[in-house]
Structure 1
Amino acid sequence: MGKVKKATKKYNQKHLKGELERRYKHKKVQQQYKKRELAKRRKGDVEGEDDGTEPFTGIEEVDDLADFAGSSIKGVDDDLSRFMQADPENEDSSGSDSEDNTAALLGDSDDEAEDSSDDDAGVDDGKEESDDSDSSLGGKDAGDSDDEETVFKKELKAMKEKDPAFFQFMEKNDPGSLKILEQDSDEEASDGEDAEMDEDKMEGEEGEEEEAESPGMTEVTAKLLGDWERAIKRDHSLRALKKLLLAFYAASHMDSENGGSEDSSYRIQGMRSFNKTVSTAIRVVPKALEHHAPVVGGRVDRKSKQWSVVQALIKSYLTSLLELQGQMSDAAMIQYLLKECERMVPYFACFVRYTRELVKGLLRQFGSASADDGVRIMALLVLRQLVAVSPAEIVDMALKGLYLTYVRSSNVKNMASLTTIQLMRNCGVELYGNDAQASYQHAFVYIRQLAIHLRNSMQLRSKESFRAIYNWQFVNSLDFWTEVLATYCGDRAEEKPELCSTLESLVYPLTQIILGVACLVPTAKYFPLRLRCLGLLLRLSSATGVYIPVLPMIIEVLESPEFLGRRPVKSTLKPLALDVHLKAPAEYEHTRVYLEAVLECVFGLLADAVASQSVRIAFPEWTVPVALQLRRWRKRIGKSWVRFSKQLQGLLDKIDQTSQLVQQHRNNVEFGPANLGAANRFMNTMHPDNTPIGVYATSLRSVRAQQRATLLKAEMEA
């Protein structure tokens, strides 16, 4: 070997190490870029096999409700349209996060503390940009530098074996660049804890021997999981916790499109090993995190010294949990993972980025067509707990996403889908009771949007504009907001007076919208939709105590030409369930089967409407016009509808009995008509359901509920 030039020696001492590091870094960037491009191509191929539409994430906004019916409405306010189309929650997730997770866990504890402290400062400041710029485990730079260091060590070892002469040359001329081989790649997470260092050295000997046997990934076995679990429980070892999280990360990313498990140092073989790894991690990790980062008052103390150490571990566990939840299809397993997410809500609340991903996953489970009722209820419980501890932006995201998920899933096809929509509506109403200000803002915007579409339809008077109103999405939106206002301004007003006082101003505009929808197309074909709107008005009136004149519209249905002007067509069709129809099917129009279903619904609404006012002091006088019109209708066409004529006579008898009851109480009063306060308190000790007409209305509701249950059972058995 010839004499080395002085310039070569100087270059080797000052620039060789930096040049090698630069080349390895460039190589690593190229590898990551190729992986991302490959993942994008795979994802594009999978999406190309679908119908061409983007998968629903639960957060994307709709242009307007007219799109639900396949038509567009002109004249919508520009400001409102821009507001409704805005979607600030969409976030582009990079495929490199999975690589950074593993890199951060393999990195030094000093690097973790430095990167996690920077990320923690970004979270405390409330800036989304700082949180998004961080990798999912301790920062992107930390992960890249750790990977470069590992590759550099492997290259130096390979050079020592293949080219010993050049290695001796490096030892003589640049011994500083070879000192990295003498460093321990698994340093302690906390340099100040001498006892922890000694303990980790003792427990790590066995694991290091096993890992040294294979230069590649280590296979996760039951014995290895048992050793980690004992070390975590007995000594609260951070090293064992890191290894368990790496194994859990590899298990959760086995089927990932990004191929994140390839970067892990552990390999999962078989379903048995997968189940054992997942169950061990879910059982052990939360308790270990609770020890190092305790939850006080529902929130994590992020000012402690341990927080900077375990922050990367928490991110790794949350990432694996979210990835695993998105892959599962079994309902029992999904509920199990959602319960685990509920336990980890205080830790999710520490990171805005992971909170967003959790909200998206919960909404996806909530609106999934294949999800059962248990999954939807569990998703709501997690979402409600998350909203209680999250900032305003997450609350807005959850409320907006849940309502839009409900609207997209509200197309009624049969009794089973109607039951599912009812459950989703109840869940949404429950979530809207957490934040009064946010609930009012969303309710105001969406109710105003419904009013705009109704106004445009009334002005255009075309089939397309009518179709934008007469569809299940629009009607179920009215049902949703009716239930929200009836619940928090009536049934539960005393529990949440602030929410009641905030939302009660929306009762009047919603009532006007429902009245406009009911009268938009007043033909017999749309009797099911009209009767449904009248039911919403009765629900709103009876719950809030606001008087809404519904009886004239019910009587108008009875006096339509379908009953008074023409003879119904005889038919052998099966009975029609009006609950799952907005308009009469073509084969049912003008038939006796259809009109009998309408009469049953009308008499039920009549009983409910009269019963809601049965404790009013003016009830006897208020029912006089109604009783006269019903008796006139019974006299004119009662012979054609014998069964309903008898039912109508029973209704009139109950009205007379209730009038006599109110007269008896009214004879004992000692105040005049001018005392409105005393008049409003009249018979306030008696519930409307306990009056004769109230008992009658309750029995009719029970019969209708049994009929719906029978239809649902028949559909499930078919």
Structure 2
Amino acid sequence: MAKASKQTKKFQNKHLKHTIEHRKKVQDFNKKAALRKKGKGEAPIRKDGKSKEVFDDMSVDEFFESGFEVPKEKKKKKVAEEEEDSSSEEEDMEMNLENLEEEDPEFYKYLKENDNDLLEGVNPLDAISDEEEEEEEEEVAEPDAPQDPHDKIEITTKLVKKWDTQLQKPTPKIIRNIIIAFKAAVNINKGEDYKYSVVDPKAFTELMLLVLKKIPIAIQNLIKYKVKNNVRTVPQNPQATQIGSILKSHASSYITLLEDINNTETAALILASIHEVMPYYISHRRLLKQIISAITNVWASSNIIDIQIASFAFINNIVREYPKSLLETVLKQSYQSFLQHCRKTNIHTMDRINFCKNSLAELFGIDSTIGYQTGFEYVRQLAIHLRNSINGKGAAAIYNWQYCHSLDFWSRVLALNEGLNQLIYPLVQVTIGTIRLIPTAQFFPLRFYLIRSLLRLKTVYIPIFPLLFEILSSTAITKSPKPSNNNLQFVDFEHNIKVNQAYLGTKIFQDGICEQFIELTFEFFGVYAKNIAFPELVTPAVLSLKRFTKKSKNAKFNKQLNQLIEKLNANAQFINSKRSNVEYGPSNKQEVSNFLKEFEWEKTPLGQYIIVQRQLKEERIKLLKQAQEDAKEKEGKDQED
């Protein structure tokens, strides 16, 4: 069924009832007029007593022999005939009305008292036509784009103040005009034509504050939200529908503003304004997705931490208010925005990327069912990419920052949300498969990065030490290093997944690998520093490391390994001393899991050493970041000179 036009709806709402009543009165009047004429003239009578029909004296063949015209412009002729018939009917009606007072004074008196418009020849359809023309003129008078560029209305501070005053008693029309003006202002550089123009920066600022701060307040004064269980909904009425239509148009302005955010105050203002009118967008899935996409892009791309926090606060609030409507959309849009903006990874962008990972990981715990379904879908995609690479389609699809950040992100999600533990096994398998796809020294930084992600999954035992010990059999460790270029800086393993060819075989690269091995081995065994089975866990590792030191000629590395062995043995002795008084066996899992539960990890021999090493590492990273910033600043000054 075709959708009713706007004009039809207006007619049905305003004039249909009155028109039907008027037509009934006209019909009644015509019937009475016909009855009055019945005595004056009658239709011709046939021999059988029945009145003669039209063409009764002409056969069908004779009628068709006379021929008939086929109109060339059927539509025009039909319209003309209708107009002529209508005009003729009105003329007949007027003549009948003139004679009515003399012929039927009682009926004339009734019409005079109850429907004087009929006596005066007023046709309600004429009123409809006039009114609709006025409404159409009003709509044409307020389009976004003017007919004449010279007829543009300039937005001034005076006009903004006038609107501000009008918003104290808001109407949909006032709100619509302000929003149209604001749309013209925010799109001023896009070359689009609107009826409003703005040239005064102060007027633009005041207009923006008016729209972002006071329009939401005006809307809520006009239409109160219904609040149930801390969830806001919009009441169903024509005025709310009208405001909803206006805000649909306003969504594009919000999105444009979000794309140009450059300071924290503006970001907070825009996000607060969107939050206030969010109930109107909940039912519009396409617009809602566009708005969420724009906000998640700000969250994922901004290097200003306060803007990131404000964006995430908005996302977190709306997801918790409308979890059923929004959670899945937000999780997917946020993940896609995160992947899109993590391609470029360095010491300056890593903090932003880590914030995205940690904050988004929290959202997956809101609903474990939706979180698991979404996580399963994306982990499966990672597994498919790995399978394709193993089958000979190249490692480029997975040996990149986006893929590595994805694996690292999901390790954070699973470490934070126990309800998604079923995804741990597939994620670990994909991560280990990625590490071993290309086991060359050039991709040792990738191996170190992914091992760190596996270390977060402390709820299950993952055999990480073999992945580390494989490094010791590499030629990058066993061969004597070649002389390196003095211009080579130390390798930044924290912010790289691949080293330059120039580093391969050099002493600076070898020293970096040794340092990473020692650090990650400490971190791995540190996870189990309080475990009752720690002595049995480290025994094979200690024996392997001792055998390696006997063959290795790298005195510096051997010294580091001996210190590692010493700390592992010290912690094993500590655990042995604590479990010497234990009276239960390994089969008592509850007691085993509670072993040293109240004891602080930092006070174990291994924990004490790891804490000190972490502090030293943080200091090194700070110095590295400062050195890079100084070098960048110096380079900028040299270019200016």
TM-score exceeds 0.5: yes
Q: Do the aligned partners of residues 457 and 419 (structure 1) sit closer, same or farther apart at CA in structure 2, a change above 3 Å counting?
A: same
Q: Do the aligned partners of residues 690 and 488 (structure 1) sit closer, same or farther apart at CA in structure 2, a change above 3 Å counting?
A: farther
Matched residue SS, 2:188: coil
Quote the Cα distance in structure 2 between the aligned partners of 1:452 and 1:610. 32
Counterpart residue number, 2:91:
none
Query: Number of aligned pairs?
Result: 503
Q: 1:248 aligns with which of 182, 190, 204?
A: 182
Q: 2:540 aligns with which of 619, 625, 634?
A: 625
Q: 1:269 aligns with which of 199, 212, 217?
A: 199
- Does 2:167 match 1:232? yes
Tell me, yes or no, if the aligned pair for 2:271 and 2:314 is still in contact at 8 Å. yes
Tell me, yes or no, if the aligned pair for 2:282 and 2:325 is still in contact at 8 Å. no
What TM-score does the superposition give when structure 2 sets the normalisation length? 0.70
What is the deviation of 1:511? Answer: 0.9
Counterpart residue number, 1:525:
442
Q: 1:590 aligns with which of 499, 502, 505?
A: 505
What is the deviation of 1:183? Answer: 6.5
Matched residue SS, 1:519: helix
Quote the Cα distance in structure 2 between the aligned partners of 1:232 and 1:671. 76
Q: 2:609 aligns with which of 677, 691, 696?
A: 696
Q: Do the aligned partners of residues 525 and 278 (structure 1) sit closer, same or farther apart at CA in structure 2, a change above 3 Å counting?
A: closer
Quote the Cα distance in structure 1 between the aligned partners of 2:541 and 2:565. 9
What is the deviation of 1:588? Answer: 0.7
- Does 2:332 match 1:418? no
Which structure 2 residues correspond to residues 86-485 of structure 1 after superposition, within 5 A? Answer: 179-180=130-131, 216-233=151-168, 235-236=169-170, 240-259=174-193, 261-262=194-195, 266-295=196-225, 296=227, 297-303=230-236, 306-308=239-241, 310-326=243-259, 332-368=265-301, 372-390=304-322, 394-460=326-392, 464-485=393-414
Q: 2:494 aligns with which of 579, 600, 621?
A: 579
What is the deviation of 1:329? Answer: 5.4
Question: Amino acid of the residue matched to residue 583 of structure 2?
Answer: E
Tell me, yes or no, if the aligned pair for 2:345 and 2:401 is still in contact at 8 Å. no
Counterpart residue number, 1:653:
566
What is the CA deviation profile of residues 68-124 of structure 1, one whole-angstrom value per residue up to 9, with x for unaligned ones? xxxxxxxxxxxxxxxxxxxxxxxxxxxxxxxxxxxx9xx9x989x99xxxxxxxxxx
Question: Amino acid of the residue matched to residue 156 of structure 2?
Answer: T
Counterpart residue number, 1:709:
622
Counterpart residue number, 1:552:
466
Tell me, yes or no, if the aligned pair for 1:380 and 1:431 is still in contact at 8 Å. no
Q: Do the aligned partners of residues 356 and 683 (structure 1) sit closer, same or farther apart at CA in structure 2, a change above 3 Å counting?
A: same
Q: Do the aligned partners of residues 505 and 179 (structure 1) sit closer, same or farther apart at CA in structure 2, a change above 3 Å counting?
A: closer
- Rg bigger for which structure? 2
Tell me, yes or no, if the aligned pair for 1:569 and 1:591 is still in contact at 8 Å. yes
Q: Do the aligned partners of residues 221 and 636 (structure 1) sit closer, same or farther apart at CA in structure 2, a change above 3 Å counting?
A: same
Matched residue SS, 1:466: coil
What is the CA deviation profile of residues 261-295 of structure 1, one whole-angstrom value per residue up to 9, with x for unaligned ones? 23xxx443322211111112222111111222233
What is the deviation of 1:577? Answer: 0.9
What is the deviation of 1:215? Answer: 10
Quote the Cα distance in structure 2 between the aligned partners of 1:175 and 1:306. 28
What TM-score does the superposition give when structure 1 sets the normalisation length? 0.63
What is the CA deviation profile of residues 665-685 of structure 1, one whole-angstrom value per residue up to 9, with x for unaligned ones? 212222123322212221111
Counterpart residue number, 1:609:
524
Question: Amino acid of the residue matched to residue 221 of structure 1?
Answer: T
Quote the Cα distance in structure 1 between the aligned partners of 2:127 and 2:224. 42
Quote the Cα distance in structure 2 between the aligned partners of 1:283 and 1:486. 40
Tell me, yes or no, if the aligned pair for 2:251 and 2:291 is still in contact at 8 Å. no
Q: Do the aligned partners of residues 293 and 675 (structure 1) sit closer, same or farther apart at CA in structure 2, a change above 3 Å counting?
A: same
Quote the Cα distance in structure 2 between the aligned partners of 1:322 and 1:519. 44
What is the deviation of 1:416? Answer: 1.4
Tell me, yes or no, if the aligned pair for 2:172 and 2:242 is still in contact at 8 Å. no
Quote the Cα distance in structure 1 between the aligned partners of 2:583 and 2:325. 56
Could you tell me which runs of 5 or more consecutive residues in structure 1 were left unpaired when the two chains were aligned.
1-24, 26-103, 115-170, 188-213, 490-499
Which one scores higher on RCO, CA 8 angstroms, separation ≥ 6?
Answer: 1
Q: Do the aligned partners of residues 183 and 626 (structure 1) sit closer, same or farther apart at CA in structure 2, a change above 3 Å counting?
A: closer
Q: Do the aligned partners of residues 353 and 651 (structure 1) sit closer, same or farther apart at CA in structure 2, a change above 3 Å counting?
A: same
Quote the Cα distance in structure 1 between the aligned partners of 2:128 and 2:499. 84
What is the deviation of 1:601? Answer: 0.8
Matched residue SS, 1:445: helix
Quote the Cα distance in structure 2 between the aligned partners of 1:476 and 1:395. 22
Tell me, yes or no, if the aligned pair for 2:389 and 2:398 is still in contact at 8 Å. yes
Q: Do the aligned partners of residues 676 and 241 (structure 1) sit closer, same or farther apart at CA in structure 2, a change above 3 Å counting?
A: closer
What is the deviation of 1:242? Answer: 4.3
Question: Amino acid of the residue matched to residue 617 of structure 1?
Answer: I
Q: Do the aligned partners of residues 508 and 184 (structure 1) sit closer, same or farther apart at CA in structure 2, a change above 3 Å counting?
A: closer
Quote the Cα distance in structure 2 between the aligned partners of 1:664 and 1:182. 96
Matched residue SS, 1:674: coil
Question: Amino acid of the residue matched to residue 552 of structure 1?
Answer: P
Could you tell me which runs of 5 or more consecutive residues in structure 2 were left unpaired when the two chains were aligned.
15-120, 139-148, 633-641
Q: Do the aligned partners of residues 355 and 574 (structure 1) sit closer, same or farther apart at CA in structure 2, a change above 3 Å counting?
A: same
Quote the Cα distance in structure 2 between the aligned partners of 1:328 and 1:606. 44
Tell me, yes or no, if the aligned pair for 1:568 and 1:591 is still in contact at 8 Å. yes
Question: Amino acid of the residue matched to residue 373 of structure 1?
Answer: I
Quote the Cα distance in structure 1 between the aligned partners of 2:451 and 2:353. 19
Tell me, yes or no, if the aligned pair for 1:619 and 1:659 is still in contact at 8 Å. yes
What is the CA deviation profile of residues 482-538 of structure 1, one whole-angstrom value per residue up to 9, with x for unaligned ones? 11111213xxxxxxxxxx1xx111101111111112222222232222222222222
Q: 1:487 aligns with which of 412, 416, 420?
A: 416
Question: Amino acid of the residue matched to residue 711 of structure 1?
Answer: L
What is the CA deviation profile of residues 344-368 of structure 1, one whole-angstrom value per residue up to 9, with x for unaligned ones? 3333324333312202222333444
Q: Do the aligned partners of residues 231 and 682 (structure 1) sit closer, same or farther apart at CA in structure 2, a change above 3 Å counting?
A: same
Matched residue SS, 2:361: helix
Q: Do the aligned partners of residues 319 and 474 (structure 1) sit closer, same or farther apart at CA in structure 2, a change above 3 Å counting?
A: closer
Tell me, yes or no, if the aligned pair for 1:342 and 1:382 is still in contact at 8 Å. yes
Q: Which shifted more, 549-558 or 375-384?
A: 375-384
Tell me, yes or no, if the aligned pair for 1:331 and 1:371 is still in contact at 8 Å. no
Quote the Cα distance in structure 1 between the aligned partners of 2:629 and 2:544. 42
What is the deviation of 1:596? Answer: 0.7
Counterpart residue number, 1:155:
none
What is the deviation of 1:258? Answer: 4.3
Quote the Cα distance in structure 1 between the aligned partners of 2:401 and 2:620. 22
Tell me, yes or no, if the aligned pair for 1:524 and 1:562 is still in contact at 8 Å. yes
- Does 2:452 match 1:535? yes
Question: Amino acid of the residue matched to residue 231 of structure 2?
Answer: G
Q: Do the aligned partners of residues 183 and 691 (structure 1) sit closer, same or farther apart at CA in structure 2, a change above 3 Å counting?
A: same
Q: Do the aligned partners of residues 517 and 687 (structure 1) sit closer, same or farther apart at CA in structure 2, a change above 3 Å counting?
A: farther
Tell me, yes or no, if the aligned pair for 2:156 and 2:200 is still in contact at 8 Å. no
Quote the Cα distance in structure 2 between the aligned partners of 1:561 and 1:453. 29
Matched residue SS, 1:299: strand
What is the CA deviation profile of residues 145-189 of structure 1, one whole-angstrom value per residue up to 9, with x for unaligned ones? xxxxxxxxxxxxxxxxxxxxxxxxxx99997588549969999xx
Quote the Cα distance in structure 1 between the aligned partners of 2:273 and 2:532. 55
- Does 2:599 match 1:599? no
Tell me, yes or no, if the aligned pair for 2:300 and 2:352 is still in contact at 8 Å. no
Question: Amino acid of the residue matched to residue 184 of structure 2?
Answer: A
